[in-house]
Structure 1
Amino acid sequence: MNQIELPETMSAVVLTGHGGLEKLEYREDIKVPRPEAGEVLIRVGASAINNTDINTRTGWYSKGVTTGTEEGAASGFASANQDDGAWSGKPLNFPLIQGADVCGTIVGVGDSVDSGRIGERVLVRPMQQAPDNPSSYNLITFGSECNGGYAEYAVARSSEVFAVNSSLSDAELASFPCAYSTAEGMLEKADLKNGERILITGASGGVGSAAIQLAKRRGAEVIAVSGETKFEEVRRLGADHVIARGQSLLNSLEKDSIKVVADLVAGPQWPELLEVLARGGRYVASGAIAGPMVELDVRTLYLKDLSLLGSTWQPKKVFENLIGYIERNEIRPVVAKKYALRDVVHAQEDFMAKRFSGKLAIEVANQNL
């Protein structure tokens, strides 16, 4: 193993189990990890808050939970089953360091990794190919099946760590990996093309705001759904038209007028999404914050020749392309507020309250915010 001189312990926020905010513990006595063969050690500059962090903490992914994410976001879900509370449907190993996003600098490498990587400024791919069985659709999430970025140091497989050349700050770069790769993965799965009309729900959130930019980059016309107080911010991101959250889509859009729906919300209004889709349209989902249980009229599905797509797994080219977009300044970060590592709980509270548009960053290297 090659590395610079390191401390024995570090600060980190540790998740002790599924439940409420009390399950998050800030500690300063966590042992600094050491990279094993094929791994690198990263001094974390910044991380960020994502829905998946909160959903994992609360156990919302459990099949025992049938409501939206807000209901148990602070306290957890009593109906969650500990055995399927993670997105993978498998039990997690606690204690766990969450944080799907990481921007930082490589400070050590394990055996079989080129020592020339030490000093690289990097981003970590959040959705990673499973190391033990690298077949298609078999993956792990950084900060879920392995420790993530809510810490001063993190280890990751060298093959999942990408050098990035950018003048953006660590906090700005940390806003990209999870949200933007999720959004790009959705658009890739739906095969969004130049000139097509796309409807994006949850458009003021991290993934939604990323999807707006990435859809515009592809030359699409963007219809965004967001809270009325965030209309101007959503328009600045590139949305061509904005619809108020909760308003009937059929009062604003004609039936059969949308080619692609990128849905992060689901919930009671879900049937309208299929009504506004054009014949042969594509629906892609990567979230269900308003509730995972929806009503489907199967006649709408088959009579309109619709395609319903789920999007979690991503081919590696999605993240490779994202690095290129960043380095060519084709997309921009949307960081609403920054927090110190010790304030992760406060950051999650603000995230759950939907006080801000875009991303909430955790400046790990700056404890004096």
Structure 2
Amino acid sequence: MTIPRTMTAVRITAHGGTEAMEIAQVPVPTPSAGEALVQVRSVALNNTDLWTREGSYGLPGDPDASAGWRGAIDFPRIQGADVAGVVAAVGRDGDPALIGRRVVIDPAIYDSLRADANPVGLMGSERDGGYAQYVTAPLERLHDVTGSELSDDQLAALPTAYGTALGMIERGQVRADDVVLITGASGGVGLAAVQLVRARGARVLAVSSGSKLADVREAGAHDVIDRGRSVVDQVQDLAPHGIDVVLDVVAGDLVGEGIPLLAEGGRWVIAGALGGHEVSFDVRRLYLHNIQLIGSSMHTPEHFELLMDIARRSEVRPVIADAFPVERAGAAQEELSRRNHVGKIVLHP
């Protein structure tokens, strides 16, 4: 494989709107020892791309501070966490047999090498990502999916959305006989959760908007709930004996209103705050009913390996809503922010 000296990349130069994004010709990165160079075939968009660009994550003790996923961003930064591609080169001591293999990159930067390590950084935020023709990644974060029947776009859709959803499912201990409520079910993480929970054999109650309910049901939801009407009333009608697990990317007022909907020993797992980051609830409902309130940020290495096994067996098939050339990454992010789509938006370098 002939590797050029320069490549097209889209990077952010500051926090702000899409005007903070620039198309640049930059050197193709050289893989260090323990790394590989991956030719990007497809890169998927996530809300993390928008919020990192906008600086919307805040800081501990200063929720309104402009910050990336885990703090200050080293600008300029090439965005893009979710990469499917082909190994183009390996660094010193890397196995040359990897070259030409089809791979998905685990985008997380972990706090240790343990199988249950916590993510403390993200490709596209704390290191350069895949809004480019090439990207480097640690060898231990490459997962060979050469034999998968999934397309490059479908593989690129997996890491953040499906990884986050699977992390929620595992941390929430979802079992085959559970009743599971999923919020934001038409978005990337929500739709991934619908497919993964359905594949696990649990009953799926999915919350979305009226125009998207049919798509969410087609993706695998047993029952759909229109967020335009009282979610609590609809859940009580559909699950009068209570919800075992809530997989929530919305938070906001629903947390306080919804905790009484949980069955004894129920688990409420939160991995987003689309509805607001400040919540209040009656804490008595928490301890009197042995409720668990669980924060879930992405996945562990063990979760991601499980996800890649699912990908190799093609047990889920991500929905692709639209594709853009990488040079139109700004337009793609604007489309993502409008939230009129169902499934994932991807970029092609």
Specify the TM-score bucket, using the shorter chain as the normaliser: over 0.9
Q: Say which SS state the counterpart of residue 303 (structure 2) adopts.
A: helix
- Counterpart in the other structure of 2:53: 57
> CA–CA distance in 2 between the matches of 1:138 and 1:221?
29
- The residue type paired with residue 319 of structure 2 is V
Q: Say which SS state the counterpart of residue 265 (structure 2) adopts.
A: strand
Any gaps of 5 or more consecutive residues in structure 2? Answer: none
Structure 1 position 110 matched with structure 2 position 91: yes
- Counterpart in the other structure of 1:7: 4
**RMSD of aligned C-alpha atoms?**
2.0
Taking the TM superposition and a 5 Å limit, the aligned residue runs for 1:62-77 are 62-63=58-59
Identity %: 41
- Counterpart in the other structure of 1:291: 276
Shift of 1:46: 0.6
Q: Work out whether residues 225 and 235 of structure 2, in 8 Å CA contact, stay in contact via their aligned partners in 1.
A: no
> CA–CA distance in 2 between the matches of 1:216 and 1:241?
11
- The residue type paired with residue 176 of structure 1 is L
What TM-score, normalized by structure 2, do the two folds share? 0.94
- The residue type paired with residue 159 of structure 1 is E
Q: Work out whether residues 10 and 327 of structure 2, in 8 Å CA contact, stay in contact via their aligned partners in 1.
A: yes
Deviations 1:39-74 (A, max 9, x none): 0000000101101111111111115999xxxxxxxx
- CA distance 1:336–1:57, change in 2 (3 Å): same
> CA–CA distance in 1 between the matches of 2:138 and 2:314?
27
> CA–CA distance in 1 between the matches of 2:255 and 2:221?
21
Number of equivalenced pairs: 345
> CA–CA distance in 2 between the matches of 1:134 and 1:98?
26
> CA–CA distance in 1 between the matches of 2:11 and 2:114?
28
- Counterpart in the other structure of 1:97: 78
220, 231, 256: which one aligns with 1:271:
256
> CA–CA distance in 2 between the matches of 1:155 and 1:306?
42
Taking the TM superposition and a 5 Å limit, the aligned residue runs for 1:181-220 are 181-220=163-202
Deviations 1:222-257 (A, max 9, x none): 000001101110011110111111422221122661
- Counterpart in the other structure of 2:295: 310
> CA–CA distance in 1 between the matches of 2:64 and 2:68?
10
Any gaps of 5 or more consecutive residues in structure 1? Answer: 67-78, 365-369
Most deviating of 243-252 and 293-302: 243-252
What TM-score, normalized by structure 1, do the two folds share? 0.89
Q: Work out whether residues 35 and 139 of structure 2, in 8 Å CA contact, stay in contact via their aligned partners in 1.
A: yes
- Counterpart in the other structure of 1:46: 42
Q: Work out whether residues 125 and 160 of structure 1, in 8 Å CA contact, stay in contact via their aligned partners in 2.
A: yes
Q: Work out whether residues 13 and 341 of structure 1, in 8 Å CA contact, stay in contact via their aligned partners in 2.
A: yes
Shift of 1:80: 4.2
Shift of 1:34: 0.4
Most deviating of 12-21 and 308-317: 308-317
> CA–CA distance in 1 between the matches of 2:322 and 2:103?
22
Q: Work out whether residues 165 and 298 of structure 2, in 8 Å CA contact, stay in contact via their aligned partners in 1.
A: no
Structure 1 position 22 matched with structure 2 position 6: no
> CA–CA distance in 1 between the matches of 2:294 and 2:58?
21
Q: Work out whether residues 121 and 163 of structure 1, in 8 Å CA contact, stay in contact via their aligned partners in 2.
A: yes
Most deviating of 10-19 and 313-322: 313-322
